[in-house]
Structure 1
Amino acid sequence: MISERLKSLREERNFLQKDVAKYLNISTSAYGYYEQGKRNPDTETINKIADLYQVSTDYLLGRTNNRNSHMGKETSLDYYNPNYLQYNELDKKIRNSLVIEGIVSEDKPVSKDMLEKVFKYGIDAAVEIKNIIIFNKIMV
C-alpha cells in the first residue's frame, strides 16, 4: 500500500523520483525501491515523506484513506475542542468574509459543513503553496 501512495502523491505534485530522493537525502534507486514495493522506508523516512506531502503517516501506511487525519481534533469546529474560542473567532471572520464577498447573505446562517469546507480549502491552498516552495528549494 505504501508504494502505491508514494507514487501517487509524487505524481500529483509532478515531482520526479530524484527530487524526492534528494529531499529525503537518499539515492534515487533507494526511493525507487520504495515505490516498487521492494523496500520499505524506515520510520524517520516515513515521517519526512508525510511532512513533504502534508499527509498523515497513517495515510501513507494505508491505515486510513483520510489524507489529513493528523489534523483531526485540532481543526474541528467542535465546542469541546480546547481551541474552541480561537475557532469561534475564525468562524466569525470567515462568515464576515463570505458576506462581504456576496457568497452568503447576512441574514442566512452558514452551515458548519460550509465553514469546514472553507477552512479545508484554505489549508489545501496553504499546503500547495508550501509544496511549491519545497519543490523550488529542491530544484536549487
Structure 2
Amino acid sequence: MATFGQKLRAIRTENNLTQKDLAKIFKVSESAIGMYERDEREPSFRFTNDVADRFGVTADYLLGRTDNSDLTLSKEFSNGAKEFLKAIELSDDEAVSKLKKMLRHEGNELSDDAIKEIISYARYKANQE
C-alpha cells in the first residue's frame, strides 16, 4: 500500500500543482510539502483532513488504511447507518426482516436473536442520549 507521501505526491501531480502551489494552498512551507512527500515528516491531523477535504478523498486513504480514495464508501456507510436507525424504530420482527441483509458477521447472516440483541442495544443507547 502506498505511503502518505506517495499519495500526496500523486494527488498533487494529478491536479497539476507544484509543491509551492500546495504549500500556498495549505499555508505550510514548501520544504514541509517535500518532507511529507518523501515520508521524512508526518503531517498533522489538520493538514491530513484539509488535504482530504480539498481533494475529495478520505483521511483513511491518505493514511494508508485503504487503497480506495472514493468518498462513496463513506457515503454508503452513512446511508446504511441512516437505514439502520430508521429500522430500529420498527417492531422487532419488522426490524429483523429489514436488517437481515444488512447485518452480517464475517460474511454470514446473523441469527434473528442476534439481530434482536443488536436492535435492543441500539434502542438502549439511543434513549441514553
Give CA-to-partner distance per residue, 1:42-96, whole Å, 9 cap, x none: 101100111121100000011101102x4325357x7x5637xxxxxxxxxxxxx
Q: TM-score, normalized by length of structure 1?
A: 0.51
How far does residue 38 in structure 1 lie from its aligned partner after superposition? 0.8
Q: Which residue pairs with 2:38 in the alignment?
A: 36
Q: Does 1:82 align with 2:82?
A: yes
Distance (Å, rounded) in 2 between the aligned partners of 1:56 and 1:75: 13
Unaligned runs of 5+ in 1: 84-140
Aligned ranges 1:13-92 → 2 under 5 Å:
13-68=15-70, 70-72=71-73, 74-75=75-76, 82=82
Q: Which residue pairs with 2:6 in the alignment?
A: 4
Q: TM-score, normalized by length of structure 2?
A: 0.56
Distance (Å, rounded) in 1 between the aligned partners of 2:74 and 2:53: 18
Q: Go from structure 1 to structure 2 and tell me whether the alpha carbon gap of 1:55 and 1:29 turns closer, same or farther (over 3 Å shift).
A: same
**Matched length:** 80
Distance (Å, rounded) in 2 between the aligned partners of 1:28 and 1:50: 19
| Structure 1 outlier segments of 4+, above 4 Å | none
Structure with larger RCO (C-alpha < 8 A, sep 6+): 1
Unaligned runs of 5+ in 2: 84-129
Distance (Å, rounded) in 1 between the aligned partners of 2:60 and 2:81: 22
CA RMSD of aligned residues (A): 2.0
